[in-house]
Amino acid sequence: MIGQRSETSTVSGAHFAFTDRWGGVSAVPYEELNLGGAVGDDPDAVRTNRELAAKALGLDPAQVVWMNQVHGPDVAVVDGPWGSSEIPSVDAIVTVRRGLALAVLTADCTPVLLADPVAGVAAAAHAGRPGMIAGVVPAAVRAMVELGAEPGRIVARTGPAVCGRCYEVPEQMRADVAAVEPAAHAETSWGTPAVDVTAGVHAQLERLGVRDREQSPVCTLESGDHFSYRRDRTTGRLAGYVWLD
Ligand SMILES: [Zn+2]
């Protein structure tokens, strides 16, 4: 019971899923399927939503690993739920445990799901503008390679995110971003400086040799079926999930 604009795909036993905002129990302004626990929503509603989303995907809610995302470049290797230990402040998690789902929360930032089905290594990363610039996605790929993955076998999926035609930034910020990642240089549909974070992520993956890549067609800011922080400020969070059979 997740919305009709959710996106799911499977490649050689690697599963990728991105939610939309429908099918949950949260009240305005988090309606309906808010999966973020730190945005002001009722914690009971978030817990119910996480259970609903997991069941819709055929997952055990207790076998979904979430991050404490801080827009940084750090990666954690995980082999099970955090349990009673403190959830680490990282923006990417990697696992070799089949059946364990890795989840990333977003509302405009780019959710990045990676899997090498042959090696049995999966990763989820949160790439907003700061994280993309800091290199969180290349860091996740490097962590996967250390665990046996090969870039040429990695399947990459990026989910709904604010697009380069909508993500307006000051001229200097665009210049600073483009100095690090030229592919992220963009212009809004109204002709002002912009950043395309997803384009930057795909350029980073291309340079690392990750060729099997797909990008969600959805712009969160333009879609009424998705949460957008830049549009609504107080709003929910979408989730991306990756796991291996
Ligand atoms: Zn857009």
- Please state the domain extents for the chain: 65-235
Tell me the HSE value of 53 on the side-chain side, using a 13 A CA sphere: 36
Distance 133 CA to ligand 1 centre (A): 20
Distance 215 CA to ligand 1 centre (A): 14
Whether the model clears a pTM of 0.95, i.e. scores above it, the answer is yes
With bands split at pLDDT 50, 70 and 90, how would you rate the model's confidence at 194? Answer: very high
CB atoms under 10 Å from CB of 44, counted, come to 10
Least confident of 37-51, 53-67, 82-96, 209-223: 82-96
What distance in Å separates the CA atoms of residue 102 and residue 81, rounded to the nearest whole number? 10
Tell me the mean pLDDT in the region 204-228: 98
DSSP run (H or E) holding 43: helix 43-56
Whole-number pLDDT of residue 64: 97
Distance 233 CA to ligand 1 centre (A): 16
Tell me the mean pLDDT in the region 52-63: 97
Amino acid symbol at 96: V
Pick the CATH number of 65-235 from 3.40.50.2300, 3.40.50.300, 3.60.140.10, 3.40.50.620: 3.60.140.10
Distance 101 CA to ligand 1 centre (A): 29
Distance 90 CA to ligand 1 centre (A): 27
On the question of pLDDT at 151 being above 60, the answer is: yes
Distance 199 CA to ligand 1 centre (A): 13
What distance in Å separates the CA atoms of residue 213 and residue 15, rounded to the nearest whole number? 14
Whole-number pLDDT of residue 210: 98
Distance 196 CA to ligand 1 centre (A): 10
Give the residue among 77, 104, 90 at the shortest CA–CA distance from 136.
90
On the question of pLDDT at 84 being above 90, the answer is: no
Distance 158 CA to ligand 1 centre (A): 15
- pLDDT tens digit string along 26-55? 999 999 999 999 999 999 999 999 999 999
